[in-house]
Structure 1
Amino acid sequence: MGWTFTLHGGVAAGLGAVFLSPAALTWLPGTLPLPDASWWQAAIFATAFLTCVSALARLALTRAAKDVVWLAFRCLPGKVQMTLGALAVGGVALLVFSTQEETSLQSAEMKDGRYVAFDTTPHARGMVEISRHRYEDVLESDQRTTLAVPGLLCLGAAYAALTAGELRRADRAAAPADVT
């Protein structure tokens, strides 16, 4: 496998782990000291999107069938497979447990000294005032989702980049040598 595929897959897997770690930390008591500005959320999604699109483009350029892609992933070292699998299972579990919470509130913020959130209940949509404790719960839930989704996208990018590299290596090994 070429070094660019290894680097791309490693950076994507590292970003996935970096994004999933604080998402998991939101289950601990207290709130994470993340900035309230929306620029960091946009930066996280842009990074995950660009990493994922470039990895999918690399995988698409191999023009391999789905079953061959899975076989190529199975040819990667066991530690790589286990690490990506464990991170992906953890990220999916994090999202599933996060969405199972019985809440219709999102986008918590502080306005004029009051805590408000957007209520998505049918026939009652709009901003509602909430308690500080509820504000912290909604804020943590939003942070969890905001960090877990890009983390899973980056793990998918790592899978695609490393698999594309393995497919490229296999194609080069199977190509007939030019004999003169």
Structure 2
Amino acid sequence: MLPGMKTSFKVHGAIAGGASAVLLSLAALTWVPGVWLSKEAGTAAMVLGGVLLFPVFGAALIRALLARATKAELWHAFRCLPGTVQLALATLLVSGFVIGGMGAGGAAGLQDASIENGRYYAFEATPGHRGRTEISRSEYLAVVRGDLRMMLAIPGVLFAGAAFHVLATGELRRADAANAAAGHAVRR
């Protein structure tokens, strides 16, 4: 699919893109009626994503820095990738921003829901009403879903950004190697 690109770039991009797709799919599931992703399961997915995020995103940034490419060169390299790869990366980034943007409002200024002694509580962040307040079960479920949506969307977008950088950098490296093999001047 990406002929000529080194396998390490392909694998790195696939891991980042796959992790992004999983996290964003879980975030989107919070909108589906009847599907319940528990707070604990969502937190576990976020923790696993976070543990994987730092090495994957860090390595992507290091690879991009070592390529010494300008933003224009990275964009041009992205445009040289196959259309299906461009579409997949664009879909991940746009859906991540949409999910994150729609989840940012929360449930009427409520966040950090909890259960104590069979009662539901949340922190109310609206001006003039800051503090912990008791809420109904339906409000509790809405707050938990909104919190999960944000906790999963943020690392999902970061993974998509890592995939973009890795694959664009891999394309730059492939083009540089092809130019060097043909005896042409290499970018720098």
The alignment's TM-score, normalised by the length of structure 1, stands at: 0.90
Partner of 2:64: 59
Identity of aligned residues (%): 44
What are the Cα deviations for residues 93-143 of structure 1, in whole angstroms up to 9, with x where unaligned? 111222245621111111121111111123432221100000000000001
C-alpha deviation, 1:63, in angstroms = 0.2
Distance in 1 between residues matched to 2:44 and 2:95, nearest whole Å? 26
C-alpha deviation, 1:173, in angstroms = 1.6
1:160 pairs with 2:157: no
Structure 1 residues not aligned, in runs of 5+:
none
With over 3 angstroms needed to count, the CA separation of the structure-2 counterparts of 1:102 and 1:33, relative to structure 1, is closer
TM-align CA RMSD: 1.9
1:49 pairs with 2:84: no
C-alpha deviation, 1:177, in angstroms = 7.1
Distance in 2 between residues matched to 1:40 and 1:11, nearest whole Å? 15
| Aligned positions of 1:1-180 closer than 5 A | 1-30=5-34, 32-36=36-40, 38=43, 40-101=45-106, 103-175=108-180
C-alpha deviation, 1:40, in angstroms = 4.5
Distance in 2 between residues matched to 1:102 and 1:110, nearest whole Å? 17
C-alpha deviation, 1:48, in angstroms = 2.1
Distance in 2 between residues matched to 1:34 and 1:48, nearest whole Å? 22
With over 3 angstroms needed to count, the CA separation of the structure-2 counterparts of 1:97 and 1:161, relative to structure 1, is same
What are the Cα deviations for residues 62-84 of structure 1, in whole angstroms up to 9, with x where unaligned? 00111011000111111000111
Aligned length: 178
The alignment's TM-score, normalised by the length of structure 2, stands at: 0.86
C-alpha deviation, 1:86, in angstroms = 1.4
